[in-house]
């Protein structure tokens, strides 16, 4: 080796392709006067670098500590090589000889520099709907396979023009080696089909302004859009989608507009403007029609009776063009932007499929000719006490890896049947798919198969074992058994997986144990009952059921989920309270159905016992007169939370009957005293908001009592399950536990609902 000089082979693994890493390497080498080369490889980025020893050390430090903002560096490995001299630094052709794996980047929202290009009349990409650079644009949804090169993406069909090719090859350019690079001369083209004249964007904007419903092809699929301030248009979209009362998400062009319609704190602003650009659930301002400036009015039909709005900012250049650039004719300031599908179907992303499935839903189509290879729905989050709470992890996050606290063999976890995601794991990392949906439709099962195969292809994980929910009738579990072949399928109890997911997210040691409070709607128990109000002593390897909510009959299965008045009557019967006509929930049940339900509850015919806390929320919502039937999952519980917000429960407290801790098997806590108290308040004319607030307070204090009974000071308390999507309950419970000295762990990177279940299945299947 020459004195003071050296040569290194540096291998950087992680999310390092499609995020401007090679340009970063090039410019760093140039700054440090180093020579050599950089290339993509199937294992990551391969660098050979030569120069002064001190400069080599600084180069490696920057690789580890100062990578591009979108990169996720998993490891940096260095090997000494003989000094051989040479001049300059160059980007070499991609090698596919590596034995490791690289990681795909999520789709990234348009960056500020590209927004400036889009709006600058002097820029050649002025008004170009596909402007992007190394810091932004589509990634995951256009990648066919890795390494990430243009010929392995859906941009392969768009040869670069001479000017784009020069930018692509220029290390000083922001688009240096940006694979989706394009311009009006060589990039994808927009098309418009529907009423109106003019260029596609102008015609589409006019349609929206005039009350039409537009199908818009985005990054990961089609959206259906309409003017969020036009009550007739929103109501018609709701009718066509068979949406019931389920809220629509809305989109604005900028943060300032979003502030006009919702309350936005610092955390929410960071999420809304970050590279993922998720939908964020926020408290709405007084922005219904008549309550604010007309251009910011939100039609009541957007989110009926809902104090929140799901808001996202425009994340593609096409979205910004739809809202209009300076000087454009005005269009709507706020758009409904909802996935283009009927309820229960996967998102529509294929052009031919869109023409078939969206006929009758849309009045016009704004599309383009860049294929979407991977469908990907919008992500959804909310903010609780300044912390992120994911509700759906998809666009902008998938397929970023998550570190595992214990090594796993190559494994596929298939998740659950609601809010499905799947995951693959190998070694110390796991990769979760984008949101797939509810597995009750043949098209969703096909989408699941496609997503799983693509995830395997991107990660290189070849599963030797499968993990699935223990529910014998879950479609995801049936799929796993059908696809497993000779590979073993390990089943994991639903709530154990929920708890393991939070443990893994927090990086708990493989030997750790926690007190898991898992409250949700449905989870199959080994005793054949439907669990959902569970207190478990749990580790990755297994669990012990310490206590649960007292069983009540779930009569008729899903029919009692869709009609909360049935759960109300079941809880009345369990509490020994007569069904009298003065109770709203009793009156809501037709007399003939009431007679059949009474027979089911008395005999157990067509009934399964359930300890579900989610169903208890439904029952109380019906007893209080909030909601008797639901149009979407957890609607009754969600509306009960709304009524409780900001309401002082007063000095009266509802109390669950505590477990006595005697006898064999798990203890039981009983909701009967709470049901009796609710009925007393209903008959006394106590306002619904106070009843709702008292119930939330009772559940939060129940958790504190359970922690006091079963946890030690050294035992973390995990709160998980779909019930803890309830911001009011989560905040109150977490606060009570923390104030009383308990260490509390909740979901921050994965949903507490079934969307995070596959991660827990990976860990529990390996440890068990």
Contact 279, 379 (CB under 8 A): yes
Percent of the chain with pLDDT over 70: 96
- Tell me which residue has tokens 């409070």: 517
Q: What is the pLDDT of residues 422-449, one digit of tens each?
A: 999 999 889 999 999 999 888 889 999 9
pLDDT at residue number 577: 97
Helices 442-459 and 475-484 pack at an angle, to 10 degrees, of: 50
CA dihedral 407→760→534→307, nearest 10 degrees, is: 140
Greatest C-alpha distance within the chain: 95
> Does 1 score more than 50 pLDDT?
no
The tokens describing 501, both together, are 């997911």
Averaged pLDDT, 738-764: 97
Contact 487, 465 (CB under 8 A): yes
Is there a catalytic annotation at residue 152? no
Contact 551, 571 (CB under 8 A): no
Task: Report d(CA 686, CA 396) in Å as an integer.
Answer: 45
> Does 192 score more than 60 pLDDT?
yes
Instruction: Give the class (CATH, top level) of 384-508+755-767.
Output: alpha beta
Distances (CA, A) of 328 to 111, 217, 281: 22, 21, 30
- Full-prediction pTM beyond 0.95? no
Spatial neighbors of 741 by CB under 8 A, at least 6 apart, are: 713
Task: Report d(CA 360, CA 75) in Å as an integer.
Answer: 51
- Tell me which residue has tokens 């929920």: 498
**Length reported for the chain:** 768
> Does 196 score more than 50 pLDDT?
yes
pLDDT at residue number 700: 98
Q: What is the pLDDT of residues 320-351, one digit of tens each?
A: 999 999 999 989 999 999 999 877 688 999 99
Q: Does domain 190-262+273-368 have CATH number 3.90.228.20?
A: no
Q: What is the pLDDT of residues 531-571, one digit of tens each?
A: 999 999 999 999 999 999 999 999 999 999 999 999 999 99
> Does 197 score more than 60 pLDDT?
yes
Q: What is the pLDDT of residues 360-390, one digit of tens each?
A: 999 999 999 999 999 999 999 999 999 999 9
Task: Report d(CA 590, CA 17) in Å as an integer.
Answer: 61
Spatial neighbors of 386 by CB under 8 A, at least 6 apart, are: 265, 266, 267
Cis peptide before 399 (omega within 30 of 0): yes
Residues pairing with 9 in the sheet: 48, 79
> Does 95 score more than 70 pLDDT?
no
Pairing of strands 380-384, 279-283: parallel
- 31 vs 102, higher pLDDT: 31
Contact 65, 17 (CB under 8 A): no
Query: How would residue 749 be classed by pLDDT, with cut points 50, 70 and 90?
Result: very high
Contact 350, 372 (CB under 8 A): yes
pLDDT at residue number 371: 97
The tokens describing 546, both together, are 């310490």
> Does 476 score more than 80 pLDDT?
yes
Is there a catalytic annotation at residue 40? yes
> Does 523 score more than 70 pLDDT?
yes
Task: Report d(CA 370, CA 137) in Å as an integer.
Answer: 13
DSSP 470: S
pLDDT at residue number 230: 97
> Does 290 score more than 60 pLDDT?
no
> Does 97 score more than 60 pLDDT?
no
Q: Does domain 5-91 have CATH number 3.30.70.100?
A: yes
Domain parsing of the chain, residue ranges? 5-91, 104-187, 190-262+273-368, 384-508+755-767, 514-746
Task: Report d(CA 326, CA 11) in Å as an integer.
Answer: 46
> Does 296 score more than 90 pLDDT?
no
How large is the C-alpha radius of gyration of the chain? 28
Contact 539, 718 (CB under 8 A): no
Task: Report d(CA 619, CA 638) in Å as an integer.
Answer: 12
Task: Report d(CA 72, CA 687) in Å as an integer.
Answer: 51
pLDDT at residue number 207: 97
Query: How would residue 99 be classed by pLDDT, with cut points 50, 70 and 90?
Result: low
Classify domain 104-187 at the CATH topology level. DHBP synthase (3.90.870)
Q: How many CB atoms lie within 10 A of CB 237?
A: 25
Task: Report d(CA 503, CA 557) in Å as an integer.
Answer: 31
CA dihedral 86→92→97→101, nearest 10 degrees, is: 110
DSSP 284: B
Task: Report d(CA 49, CA 57) in Å as an integer.
Answer: 11
Averaged pLDDT, 593-605: 96
Contact 712, 722 (CB under 8 A): no
Average pLDDT score over the chain: 93
Q: Show the 3-state SS of 491-543.
A: EECHHHHHHHHHHHHCCCCCCCCEEEEEEEEEEECCCCCEEEEEEEEECCCCE
Spatial neighbors of 330 by CB under 8 A, at least 6 apart, are: 209, 324
Task: Report d(CA 296, CA 93) in Å as an integer.
Answer: 51
> Does 167 score more than 70 pLDDT?
yes
Spatial neighbors of 468 by CB under 8 A, at least 6 apart, are: 413, 414, 474, 476, 477, 480, 481, 489, 490, 491, 492, 761
Q: Which of 7, 13, 40, 550 is catalytic?
A: 40
The tokens describing 655, both together, are 């109390």
> Does 527 score more than 60 pLDDT?
yes
Distances (CA, A) of 400 to 46, 276, 419, 533: 21, 11, 18, 32
Task: Report d(CA 163, CA 183) in Å as an integer.
Answer: 9
> Does 487 score more than 80 pLDDT?
yes
CATH superfamily of 514-746: ATPase, nucleotide binding domain (3.30.420.40)
Q: What is the pLDDT of residues 621-669, one digit of tens each?
A: 999 999 999 999 999 999 999 999 999 999 999 999 986 655 678 999 9
The tokens describing 121, both together, are 């009349």
Q: Which of 82-96, 197-211, 691-705 has the lowest mean pLDDT?
A: 82-96
pLDDT at residue number 15: 79
The tokens describing 178, both together, are 């940006």
Query: How would residue 712 be classed by pLDDT, with cut points 50, 70 and 90?
Result: confident
Contact 442, 468 (CB under 8 A): no
> Does 143 score more than 60 pLDDT?
yes
* Closest alpha carbon to 392 in 498, 281, 480, 303: 281
Q: Show the 3-state SS of 40-106.
A: EECCEEEEEEEEEHHHHHHHHHHHHHCCCCCCEEEEEEEEEECCCCCCCEEECCCCCCCCCCCCCCC
pLDDT at residue number 677: 98
> Does 44 score more than 70 pLDDT?
yes
Domains 384-508+755-767 and 514-746 share a fold: yes
Pairing of strands 552-555, 514-524: unpaired
CB neighbour burial string for 5-17, b if at least 16 within 10 angstroms, e if fewer: ebbbebbbbbbbb
pLDDT at residue number 659: 67
pLDDT at residue number 70: 75
Q: Which of 7, 8, 22, 395 is catalytic?
A: 22
Contact 745, 514 (CB under 8 A): yes
């Amino acid at each position: 080796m020459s004195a003071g000089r050296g040569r290194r082979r540096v291998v950087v693994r992680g999310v390092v392709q499609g995020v401007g890493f090679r340009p970063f390497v090039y410019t760093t080498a140039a700054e440090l006067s180093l020579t050599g080369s950089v290339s993509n490889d199937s294992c990551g980025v391969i660098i050979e670098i030569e120069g002064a020893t001190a400069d080599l050390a600084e180069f490696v430090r920057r690789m580890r500590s100062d990578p591009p903002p979108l990169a996720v560096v998993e490891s940096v490995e260095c090997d000494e090589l003989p000094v051989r001299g040479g001049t300059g630094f160059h980007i070499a052709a991609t090698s596919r000889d590596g034995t490791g794996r690289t990681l795909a980047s999520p789709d990234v929202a348009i960056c500020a520099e590209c927004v400036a290009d889009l709006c600058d009349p002097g820029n050649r990409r002025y008004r170009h709907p596909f402007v992007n650079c190394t810091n932004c644009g589509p990634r995951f949804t256009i990648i066919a396979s890795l390494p990430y090169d243009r010929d392995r993406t859906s941009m392969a069909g768009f040869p670069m023009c001479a000017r784009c090719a020069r930018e692509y090859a220029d290390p000083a350019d922001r688009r240096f080696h940006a694979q989706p690079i394009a311009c009006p001369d060589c990039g994808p083209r927009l098309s418009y089909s529907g009423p109106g004249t003019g260029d596609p964007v102008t015609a589409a904007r006019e349609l929206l302004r005039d009350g039409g419903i537009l199908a818009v092809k985005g990054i990961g699929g089609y959206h259906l859009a309409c003017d969020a301030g036009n009550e007739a248009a929103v109501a018609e979209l709701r009718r066509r989608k068979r949406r019931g009362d389920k809220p629509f998400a809305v989109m604005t062009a900028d943060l300032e507009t979003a502030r006009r319609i919702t309350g936005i704190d610092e955390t929410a602003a960071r999420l809304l403007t970050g590279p993922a650009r998720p939908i964020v659930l926020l408290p709405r301002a007084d922005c219904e029609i008549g309550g604010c400036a007309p251009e910011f009015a939100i039609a009541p039909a957007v989110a009926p009776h809902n104090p929140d709005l799901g808001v996202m900012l425009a994340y593609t250049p096409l979205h910004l063009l739809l809202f209009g650039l300076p000087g454009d004719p005005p269009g709507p300031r706020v758009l409904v932007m909802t996935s283009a599908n009927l309820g229960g179907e996967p998102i529509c992303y294929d052009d031919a499929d869109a023409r078939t499935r969206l006929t009758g839903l849309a009045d016009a189509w704004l599309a383009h000719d860049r294929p979407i290879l991977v469908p990907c729905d919008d992500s959804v989050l909310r903010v609780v006490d300044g912390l992120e709470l994911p509700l759906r992890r998809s666009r902008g996050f998938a397929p970023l890896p998550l570190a595992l606290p214990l090594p796993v063999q190559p494994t596929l976890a298939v998740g659950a049947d609601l809010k499905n995601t799947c995951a693959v794991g190998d070694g110390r990392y796991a990769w979760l798919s984008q949101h797939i949906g509810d597995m009750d439709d043949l098209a969703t099962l096909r989408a699941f198969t496609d997503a799983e195969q693509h995830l395997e292809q991107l990660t290189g994980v070849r599963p030797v074992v499968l993990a699935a929910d223990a529910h014998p009738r879950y479609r995801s579990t049936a799929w796993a058994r059908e696809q497993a072949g000779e590979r073993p399928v390990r089943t994991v109890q639903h709530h154990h997986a929920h708890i393991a997911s939070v443990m893994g997210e927090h990086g708990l040691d493989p030997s750790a144990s926690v007190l898991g409070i898992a409250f949700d709607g449905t989870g199959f128990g080994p005793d054949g009952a439907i669990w959902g109000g569970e207190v478990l002593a749990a580790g990755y390897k297994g669990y012990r059921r310490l206590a649960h909510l007292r069983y009540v009959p779930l009569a008729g299965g899903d029919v009692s989920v869709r009609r909360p008045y049935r759960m109300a009557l079941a809880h009345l019967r369990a509490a020994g309270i007569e069904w009298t006509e003065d109770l709203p929930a009793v009156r809501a049940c037709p007399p003939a159905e009431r007679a059949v339900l009474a027979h089911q509850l008395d005999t157990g015919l067509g009934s399964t016992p359930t300890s579900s806390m989610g169903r208890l929320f439904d029952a109380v919502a019906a007893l209080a007169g909030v909601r008797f039937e639901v149009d979407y999952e957890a609607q009754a519980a969600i509306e009960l939370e709304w009524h409780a917000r900001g309401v002082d429960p007063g000095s009266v407290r509802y109390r669950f009957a505590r477990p006595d801790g005697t006898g064999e098997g798990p203890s039981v806590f009983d909701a009967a005293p709470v049901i009796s108290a609710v009925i007393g308040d209903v008959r006394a004319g106590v306002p619904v908001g106070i009843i709702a607030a008292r119930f939330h307070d009772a559940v939060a204090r129940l958790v504190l009592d359970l922690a006091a009974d079963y946890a030690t000071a050294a035992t973390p308390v995990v709160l998980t399950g779909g019930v803890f999507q309830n911001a009011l309950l989560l905040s109150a419970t977490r606060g009570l536990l923390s104030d009383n000295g308990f260490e509390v762990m909740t979901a921050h990177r994965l949903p507490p609902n079934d969307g995070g279940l596959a991660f827990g299945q990976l860990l529990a299947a390996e440890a068990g």
